[in-house]
Structure 1
Amino acid sequence: MEKTLAAMTRRGFLAVGSAGLGGAALAACTSSSETPEFAADTDALESPMLAELVAAGSLPELAERLPATPMVVEPIEGTGAFGGTLQRAQTDATATGVMQSFAPTGLLEWNVASDASQESLAESYEISDDNRVYTFTLREGLKWSDGEPFTSADLAFAIENWLGNATLVPVPPFWYSDVDQQLPMFDAPDERTVVIEFREPFSLFEKYMCHPGVSTQFIKPKHYLEQFHPDFADQADVDAASAAAGFDSWDQYFADRDNTWTNPDRPTMGAFKVTAPASAQSGTATLERNAYFWKTDPDGRQLPYVDKIQVQVLDQSALDLRAANGDLDFQGYYLGYSTTETYLANAESRGFEVLRWTDTWSLLSLCFNLSHQNEALREVFLLRDFRFAMSHAINRDEINSTLLGGLGIIRNPVAPEGTEYGVDGSGQTAIEYDVDRANELLDGLGLALAGDVRALPDGTPLELTLLYMDDNQGMSRADAFGMVQEMWAAVGVRLNLRPVDSTLYAQLRLANDFDVDGTSMIEEDFDLEPVWFVPTGGNSHTAPGFGLWYSTSGADGIEPPDEFKQLLANWDALRSAPTADDRVASGQEIMQAHNDNVYVIGLMKLPFQPVVVNSSLKNVRDDAPKMSFYYGREGITKTEQIFFE
């Protein structure tokens, strides 16, 4: 850890907007948080809760539970005390993000700066000069949370029997596919070594192995999951067990048993494992420390420092209220931005601090369906002048002033300047509010007014539907899109708003059945999930028909025009780049195309993501790191080393 990071102090904030919670509501709720019990003996090498189990003979000695060479984690502020229960909350009972934030596992992981990889479960690794062959050597003596050995056989199971099973994974994922979507070659010459060989250079694989949402998927306990897999158990027995558990097919049952968030029996390699899943009755999940976790602090003390995590499932208003009341110990994800002023007003009296982390996923945007099933709409959406006109018709300053008190950041979604794929001066194309210019462009396209509404060349009224999931975590999408609705009506384009739940939202996008998608776009690290900027799959926000065409090698979907074929060609070049310079150059071409053509219309993003931290919780970063799914959200602070003072 760099000394500058360890020495950083808490930072202050600007006030934002109006308070999201009333004082009366806050006063009616009393804090339930208490100072957690912890071990004052900082010389102890393991948590007292585990030492008791060792003394009782129900758990092996620490030396038998750790690998020969544990991974050493340098604390941010200093070594800590064992114990305590961390309180968190989330709005979706099925969301598994807490596992990526507090219990990620992978052969590699991000370094502290999150700009390069470092060894994790792998004690060492090598990459061939042409980015084709990746060799990983596991730490000796690694064990699952149930004490069983973790070896290359587990990785072989994940790669050959999960990724390689067409029932479980019908199409190889973009983060583990080779030429023409084949699986790469795999070999496990001994218990500690795995070799993955791609047929062409795969410049991104090292980054994907650090991404906690991807890397964890390679870590599957063969000794437990093989009982649910017909490659290892009798098909009739597997089918019978699946039916008895209430599932229609064995693959559904396998996925259920493989879920570390809902299945406490599933062994894990993470710092914590779920011991009590959230249920409809309790609404609270409990996680406890993994007795076989393979990381220590510099003094040889087994991590994590914290013993337990409790996660409550709440609606957004209740979650924000608990945060403002000091009842959540460490929360950034799911935390409402609009309540920041209330957090700040109550922080000192309620015993917590408010940090400002870098927001990377709040740029509210409008994505026309450029692969629309309706050819007439598709032709119009693909016209750059149409997208420019609709962008010029939006008064972003008014939306910013109304919804974010003028603190929002106005831009189109492209990689920011100064980042790896950033292009100087980008993100501002056609962003000025200019109704005259918007009308001029629309008139020039032959979209004549027929009364108050413009018409397509065939006479059909230009009436569109905006599909979106309502969300109160950031700015109000309903309010923002309602303002766009009025602004577009002023230039003769009728917009209907259609809020839907997450299931229908995904279904309609995959079916290529929408006009405009309203969503928060990423900006940085698009290569870790290219579908946001390049239609690589049917879940594209801008062109699912083109994405399906690409992902099926032309067998399905809609063939894209040349400009999108070029975008896809640039992605292929990025993915298979032989050098980092070649990769970055291809990524910048993709960003330049987005900047020049405004494939996605941006509105604005939040200036920061508030993070509340219990004042007694230490080793939490306060240097404004990225709040990003790609870095495990709160996990970017290396959560295994946080502790209660």
Structure 2
Amino acid sequence: MITDHPISRRALLTTSGIAASALVVGCSDRREPLPGLDSTKKVLESPILTKKITAGDLPKLADRLPASPMVVQPIKKPGSFGGTLHRAQTEATDSGVIASFASSGLVEWSRDSSKAIPSLAETYQRSDDNTIFTFTLRQGLKWSDGKPFTADDVIFAIKDWLGNATLVPALPVWFADVDQQLPKVSKTDENTVRIEFREPFALFEKYLCHPSINIQIIKPKHYLEKYHPAYTDKAKVTAAAKKAGFDSWDQYFADRDNPWTNPDRPVMGAYQVAKAAGAQSGTASLERNPFYYKTDPDGRQLPYIDKIQVQVLDQAALDLRAANGDLEFQGNFLGYNSTQVYLRNAKAKGFTVQRWQAVGTLLSLCPNLSHNDRVWRSLFMTKDFRLALSHAINRKEINDTLLGGLGIIRQPMSTDGSPYGIAGGGRTAVDYDVEKAGQLLDGIGAKKRGSVRYYRGKPLEFTVIYTDNDQGIARADAFNLVKKDWAAVGVKMNVRPVDDTLYAQLRASNDFDFDGTTMIEDDWDLEPVWYVPTSSGSHSCPGYGLWYATGGKDGVTPPAEIKKLMDTWDELRTAQTDQIRIAAGKKITQQHNDNVYVIGLMKLPFQPVVVSNKIIGVRTDKPQLSFYYGREGITKPEQISLA
């Protein structure tokens, strides 16, 4: 499926074919000295880089920076160079630290994450109808190995990676044009890239801000072309892949293109992996990129911190390290249930516990609306059945038992304050009313025989599949409380934890009754499958999603109300203006609010974030710890420092 900074501005090169009134985005260079620095004695780069220059291993700073660096205003005050930031995670293969601390893109989120601003691009232009996007790169950008970064690198990523059916069999939603076609991409000079879609793409800038997406069209052509048969003889590429232990050239290309596991791959972000975490080593290390393109307002090259160390631990050990003050800045992977331990230890261990907004923690039950069984499909698509199940849940008991009454009870959908939010949304059928639940079930013909209800001769017995996760709400405990509540109204529920592989297989094959998962609420337009079945990755109707993705050639034909969701999504995605896009998003939210396609339980009241007292520059305004904003990356980690 399926991402922040004041910057400098140059004159924009005019591109033919774009309306004169097209939006041009750029920001003024900020060069005022920062308070707290003696401008006559300021150090413009990390001492470890100065040593490399002296040894003849690195060019001088002026030769490493672009002509007009991106200028980042520190959140609190200018930082000091040096030090190692310690972090931890529960899976060796998780590359989230790259998105949070070392992503780079043509554009990125503004500081408040409300819009796109230029990044590797010094300026960019968007046509009035959201079809043509032109990016003018900063002159003199360099990869971490010192090689030039140009428009050819972006075109290589689009044409030779996204456009290669072996490497990318199906275009991702964030770059697909009409009928799963690649948009037109061209360059007018070495620093200007033009991307043209055949229909308006209202979300393109937002996708490009997402730090797990923007990095994907920033690929080092000079490094990767030797692994690609379009540039190197296919027999040679295949032989190299076999020698490296891969079955095919595309597998080897993907391995070489992974900045988390391949330290040799050049990058544009603030840090490059120096040692990957693997079976032999439970610790990864990242080192500063000496050619990074951002500075503070005094011209000091960022990042301030030299190194990041990431240790792979189980959840209990990770939470213990955080409570002991060993992790200087950590929110992602941190267990909510250990918050009280963090708070008790904070003063003695020299850190604070911030409460960022919890994102993607709304524990929910997704009935499979496209069920392979026609009887269950008909039942699950019956609104009163879903309302009955929702009313039958004693959410207060779940909240009091698992979260001490602090959880937020609501149905999954956009929150009130988001662009797609509606006033009072998320409250449909959340009140506990066993009598009403029974009446609704009686009304649809699900009559009780003894302790179990039957529908069209079949007992109402279902299985909830889910994957265990110890970071947030205890899923097994929550689902077992729901099991008790549903049994009281004659619905039997089996609780079945599965591993990640089986979980994905069951969903993709449309072979499940209920999916127990946490739902996102805002920014779902970046991953529409949460609320609109656009692919088989849908949690609530993968069969309908496959129908949509294949143009009706495969999957399960959806009923009219689901097609309405799909049509509204198409309106949103192809909107020519933000007003049209937002209106479509609100219609999708309203349809979910009216119909309760997914049954929400509750979400965490906040996400704990531990911040060492030695750290300078972490924001304190309780931002969202969101995957779409790069989680900790929302605080601009290139400008944080160790005091």
Q: TM-score, normalised by structure 2?
A: 0.93
Q: Is the 8 A contact 2:5 2:72 kept in 1?
A: no
- How big is the shift at 1:456? 2.5
- 2:501 partner amino acid: T
Cα deviation 1:458-510 (Å, max 9, x = unaligned): x2222111111111101101110111111111111111111112222112111
CA contact (8 A) 1:368 1:600 kept: yes
Task: Name the counterpart of 2:185.
Answer: 186
Instruction: Give distance in 2, aligned partners of 1:222 and 1:89.
Output: 32
1:588-639 deviations in whole A, cap 9, x for unaligned? Answer: 0000000000001100010100000110100001100010000000000000
Q: Whole-Å Cα distance in 2 between the matches of residues 381 and 292 of structure 1?
A: 55
Matches within 5 A, 1:96-495: 96-457=95-456, 459-495=457-493
Q: Check if 1:595 corresponds to 2:593.
A: yes
Find out whether 1:607 has 2:601 as its counterpart. Answer: no
- 1:530 and 2:528 matched: yes
Asked if residue 563 in structure 1 is aligned to residue 595 in structure 2, the reply is no
Q: Distance in 1 between matches of 2:255 and 2:230?
A: 17
* CA–CA separation in structure 2 for the residues paired with 1:226 and 1:295: 27
Call closer, same or farther: CA 1:288–1:42 in 2, change over 3 Å.
farther
Match of 1:551 among 549, 552, 556: 549
Aligned residue runs from structure 1 range 14-29, under 5 A = none
For residue 209 of structure 2, give the secondary structure of its aligned residue in structure 1.
Answer: coil
Deviation at 1:2, TM superposition (A): 11
The question of whether the paired residues in 2 share the 8 Å contact of 1:66 and 1:142 is answered with yes
Structure 1: which amino acid aligns with 2:545?
A: G
User: Which AA in structure 2 matches 1:100?
Assistant: A
State the superposition RMSD in angstroms: 1.5
Paired residues in the alignment total: 609
Q: Deviations over 1:333-364 (max 9, x none)?
A: 00011111110111010011110101121000
User: In the alignment, residue 506 of structure 2 is paired with which amino acid?
Assistant: L
Map of 1:13 onto structure 2: none
Q: Percent identity?
A: 63
1:451 to partner: Cα distance: 2.9
Letter aligned with residue 628 of structure 1: S
Counterpart amino acid of 2:185?
F
- Counterpart in the other structure of 2:32: none
Q: Is the 8 A contact 1:41 1:81 kept in 2?
A: no
Q: Which 10-residue stretch deviates more, 200-209 or 498-507?
A: 498-507
In structure 2, give the amino acid aligned to 1:429.
T
Gaps of 5+ in 1: 4-39
Q: CA deviation at 1:41?
A: 11
Q: Distance in 1 between matches of 2:465 and 2:407?
A: 23
C-alpha distance in structure 1 between counterparts of 2:382 and 2:229, whole Å: 51
Deviation (angstroms), 1:116: 1.0
Tell me the secondary structure at the aligned position of residue 432 of structure 2: coil
CA distance in structure 2 between the aligned counterparts of 1:247 and 1:550, rounded to whole angstroms: 34
Q: Match for 2:636: what amino acid?
A: K
SS at match of 1:45: coil
Shift of 1:173: 0.9
Q: 2:603, 2:407 → 1: CA distance? A: 6
Rounded Cα–Cα distance in structure 1 between residues aligned with 2:604 and 2:520: 12
Match of 1:573 among 571, 574, 595: 571
- Matched-pair contact (CA < 8 Å) for 2:483–2:493: yes
Is 526-535 or 633-642 further displaced after alignment?
526-535
Q: Does 1:630 align with 2:628?
A: yes
Q: 1:42, 1:81 within 8 Å by CA — same for their partners in 2?
A: no
> 8 Å contact 1:42–1:80 — kept in the other structure?
no
Are the aligned partners of 2:464 and 2:494 in contact in 1 as well (CA < 8 Å)? Answer: yes
Counterpart in the other structure of 1:583: 581
2:497 alignment partner in structure 1: 499
TM, length-normalised to structure 1: 0.93
Please say if residues 5 and 109 of structure 2, whose CA atoms lie closer than 8 Å, have aligned partners that are also in contact: no
Q: Distance in 1 between matches of 2:298 and 2:200?
A: 41
The match for 1:515 among 488, 513, 516 is 513
> Separation in 2 of the partners of 1:498 and 1:121?
46
